[in-house]
Amino acid sequence: MKIVKIVSEDEVWIHWKKVEGHISDQFRWDIRGRLPDDIQWYLAEIEEEDIEKIFIISSDDWRAITRTFRVIDSVNSLYQGIIDEKTDNILRKKALYEKDLDALDRKFILVSPSIEGNFTIIEGNKRVVALHSINRLIGNRIYLGISKKIIDYVWARYSR
C-alpha cells in the first residue's frame, strides 16, 4: 500500500456512515467495536503487489463464494458462475462500475497488522470484488487502519 496521508478515525467513520446511510453513531458496532484502540488510520492507494494480500471480512456467509477469503479467489468464483445472493449483488455492482466508475463509492475501509499486509476489508467487500473483476482496483484510494493487534481481530481471522 502506498500511504498518501494520515487521517483521523472520525474521518473514516463519517465516511462509512455516509456510504451506508446510517443515522446512529453506533452503526456497525459489531465490526467497529471490536477494533483495537491503537489503530492509526491512513488514506492509502492500492498497489499491484497488494492485490494478492487483500481479504474479504472474515464472515462465514462468504464461504459459498470463497474458501480462502482472498478477493482474487472471490472474483474467480464469479467467472465460474457461482450464483447466490452475494454474487448476484456483486454482478449488479460490477455492471454499474462498468458503465460509470464513479457510480458507487470506491473509498473502502481495510485493516492490517502492518503496511505490508495482509489486508482485510471491513467495509466495501462486494464493491471491492466487483471493482477487481473489471481490473480497476489498483490505484484506488482507500482508508487503511494499521495496528499490530489486528492479528487478533475476529473479522480478520481468515487473513492470517
Q: What is the pLDDT of residues 6-62, one digit of tens each?
A: 999 999 999 999 999 988 988 999 999 999 999 999 999 999 999 999 999 999 889
Residue pair 82/65 in contact (Cβ under 8 Å)? The answer is yes
* Total-model pTM: 0.94
pLDDT(86) > 80: yes
| Angle at CA of residue 121, ends 78 and 137, nearest 5° | 60
Counted domains in the chain: 1
Q: Is the peptide bond before 125 cis (omega within 30 degrees of 0)?
A: no
Residue 40 class from Cβ within 10 Å (0-12 exposed, 13-18 middle, 19+ buried)? exposed
Tell me what the mean pLDDT of segment 77-100 comes to.
Answer: 86
Tell me what the mean pLDDT of segment 109-132 comes to.
Answer: 97
Q: In one letter, which amino acid is 155? A: W
pLDDT(77) > 90: no
Tell me what the mean pLDDT of segment 68-88 comes to.
Answer: 83
Nearest to 112 by CA among 121, 104, 103: 121
Tell me what the mean pLDDT of segment 82-91 comes to.
Answer: 81
pLDDT(128) > 70: yes
The pLDDT value given to residue 83? 66
Range of the domain at 86: 2-159
Residue matched to cell numbers 481471522 = 157
Specify the higher pLDDT residue, 80 or 70: 70
- Mean pLDDT of the residues in the chain: 94
Catalogue the E-assigned strands of the chain: 2-7, 40-45, 54-55, 109-112, 119-123, 141-146
pLDDT(85) > 90: no
